[in-house]
Amino acid sequence: MSSNDKYQTPLSTRYASQEMMTIFSARERASTWRQLWVWLAEAEKELGLKIPDDAITQMREHVVVTDAAFVVARDYEEKFRHDVMAHVHAFGEDAPAAAGSIHLGATSCYVTDNADLIFQQRALDLILPKLAKVIQNLQTFAMEYKDMPVLGFTHYQPAQLITVGKRATQWIQELMMDLEDIETVRAGLKFRGAQGTTGSQATFLELFEGDADKIKQLNAILCKKAGFPSAYPISTQTYSRKVDLRVANAVCALGATAQRICSDIRHLANLKEMEEPFEKSQIGSSAMAYKRNPMRCERITALGRKLARLPANFTATFEGQWFERTLDDSAIRRMDIPEMFLLADSILLAMDNVTNGLVVYPNVIRSRLNQELPFMATESILMKLAAHGVSRQDAHEEIRVLSHEASAVVKQQGGTNDLLARIKATEFFKPVWNDLDNLLDPALFIGNCPKIVEDFCNGEVAESLEKYKDFLSKSQTAKLSI
C-alpha cells in the first residue's frame, strides 16, 4: 500500500525537521529500548550478577532494530498483545545468548518511561538552540532599526511613537522568557532508572540478595550511561506524569508567544509597514494574482494555537493517574509528547525563516507618521505658545477646533491630515509659525527607545545567547520545504 493511501501527520510531511522526526521515530524508540536493556545488563553484571559476556556482546551488536526485527516484533505483539514483551522476544532472537538476561528485574516502564525521558531530553536540546537563533535574528533586527520612528498602537489605535527596533524587543523579551523556562525544565529533567513494578525496587532487592546499596549503585550507573544527573527519588510504576506537565507548560508556552509575534507581523503586513519574506515565484492567491499573503506567519499562528493548548491534555493525564499507575496515560502520551516537540520544532523553523528576512518599508511608515504627527505635536505647540505669553486655555480651544476640522477631512473626506496647514493659516498661531516644522521631527517623539534597545540587546539578550555561541556561529537560516 502506498504512503499516499495512509493518513500522515502534516508535522512530519510538511513542517518538522528530520532531526526531530528521527527522535520520535519507531526505529529510534525500539532501538532505545534495546540500548536500555544493554545498559541494564552491563550494570547488573558490573554489580555481580552472572550475565554471560557473549550475551552482552550480542546485545551490543544488535541495538539498532532492523526492518526484519520489526516484522518479528509485530508478529509477537499480535500474539502477546504487549509491545514491550514483543520486543524482548525479538531482541532475544537477534541476541540468543542474551535471551535469558534481557529485561532482568525490570518492568515495562523501565524501557518505555526511561526512553520517553531520553527523547524529551534530546528534543529539548534540539529546540533550545533553534529558539536562541530566532532571538538572535530579532536582536540583529532590533539593533538595525533601533532609531527608526514608527507609530505605536494601544487598543490598535494610534498612540505615542516608538521605534521599529523597540517593537522587536517586545518580541525578544517574550521569547527570552520561553528560553528561560525551557532551560529550567531541561536542567531539572531526571531519569526514572530501575525502580521495579510499583517503585518499591523489590525485584532488584531480590536480585542483589537484599543489598539496597547495590540498587543505588545500579541507578547511578544507569543515569551516567543515559546522561542524566540523577533519578527521581520517588517512583511508582512510572515516573510522575507531573514531569511531562512541567515540560509541556514550558514548551507549549512558546506556541502562545509565536501567535502573539506573528499576529503583530500580520497586522503590520496589512498596514504595509513590514512583511515576512516573499519569494520571487511565490503565489499569494490562486485568484488574486497581486496578493502577498503572510502565509508563513499564518502557518506559525496555526501551529502555535495547537501547541499552546496541549498542556490541557498533559494536565488531564497527570490528574487522572490512580495510585501507582493506570494505563490510560499510554495512548495519549504516544501522541502528545512527540506532537508537542514536532510542533515546537516546526514553529521555530518557520520563525527563523521569518525573522531573518523581515522586510521594512520606511516610506510607508513615514507616510503614516505624517498623518498622526500633527496631532501629537499639539502639546508642544501649546507649550511654545505659553512661552510667548499666550493663554494656555485659549490656545487649547483654538487647537481643539482645528484638530476636529482636520480629523473630519481625514475620516469623512478621505483626505490627508491638514492640521499643520490650518495652524499656519490661522493668525492666532503666528508666534510659533517658524517653529512648526521643527516640532514635527519624528525623532523628537521616540523618547528613550534607541537606548532601551541597545541596553537590552547588548546586555540581557547577549548574555543569554552566550551559551549558544558555537551553534549560532555556524547555523544557517532555516528554509521552509513547502
- Length of the chain (residues): 482
Least confident of 96-100, 292-296, 443-447: 292-296
* pLDDT over threshold 60, residue 426: yes
The better pLDDT of the pair 124, 380 is held by 124
Q: What is the DSSP string of 196-220?
A: -SSSS-HHHHHHTTT-HHHHHHHHH
Look at residues 144, 231, 227 and name the one whose alpha carbon lies nearest to residue 196: 231
Question: What's the pLDDT band for 439 if we cut at 50, 70, 90?
Answer: confident
Separation CA 352–CA 139 (nearest Å): 12
Query: For 16-104, CATH number?
Result: 1.10.275.10
155 is catalytic: yes
- pLDDT of 479 reads 67
Cα separation values, 306 from 127, 182, 254, 349, Å: 17, 18, 11, 16
CA 195 distance to own-chain centroid: 33
Amino acid making up residue 93: E
pLDDT confidence bin for 44, thresholds 50/70/90: very high
Q: What is the CATH number that goes with domain 109-148+162-360?
A: 1.20.200.10
> Is 184 in contact with 250 (CB distance < 8 Å)?
yes
Element counts in the chain: helices (H) and strands (E): 22, 4
- Check residue 410 and give its pLDDT: 87
Domain boundaries, the chain: 16-104, 109-148+162-360, 378-439
Which amino acid appears at position 105 of this protein? G
Q: What percent of the chain has pLDDT over 90?
A: 82
The pLDDT, as a whole number, for residue 288 is: 54
Establish whether 285 is a catalytic residue.
yes
pLDDT digits (tens, 9 = 90+) for 338-393: 999 999 999 999 999 999 999 999 999 999 998 888 888 888 888 888 999 999 89
CA 468 to chain centre: 16
Cα angle value 120/125/130 (rounded, 5°): 125
Q: What is the pLDDT of residues 61-70, one digit of tens each?
A: 999 999 999 9
Region label for 402, one of left (φ > 0), alpha (ψ between -120 and 50) or beta (otherwise): alpha
In 265-384, the DSSP E strands lie at 274-275, 359-360
What per-residue confidence (pLDDT) applies to 292?
76
**Which residues, other chains included, contact 128 with Cβ-Cβ below 8 Å and sequence gap of 6+?**
179, 182, 183, 186, 468
* Grid cell in block for residue 368: 503614516
* Three-state secondary structure readout of 103-132: CCCCCHHHHHHHHHHHHHHHHHHHHHHHHH
The residue annotated as part of the active site, out of 230, 285, 367, 407, is 285
Cα-based distances in Å from 438 to 365, 382, 420, 430, 442: 19, 15, 12, 15, 10
Residue 93: CB atoms within 10 Å = 14
Average pLDDT over every residue of 129-137: 98
pLDDT for position 482: 58
**What integer is the mean pLDDT of 35-53?**
97
Q: Which one from 2, 3, 155, 281 is the annotated catalytic residue?
A: 155
The answer to whether 273 and 364 have CB atoms below 8 angstroms apart is yes
Confidence band for 139, pLDDT divided at 50, 70 and 90: very high
For 229-287, how does the pLDDT look when each residue is reduced to its tens digit (9 = 90+)? 999 999 999 999 999 999 999 999 999 999 999 999 999 999 999 999 876 655 555 45
Digit-coded pLDDT (tens) for 140-192: 999 999 999 999 999 999 889 999 999 999 999 999 999 999 999 999 999 99
**Pair 342, 11: CB distance under 8 Å:** yes
Mean pLDDT of 225-229: 98
Collapsed DSSP state (helix, strand, coil) of residue 345: helix
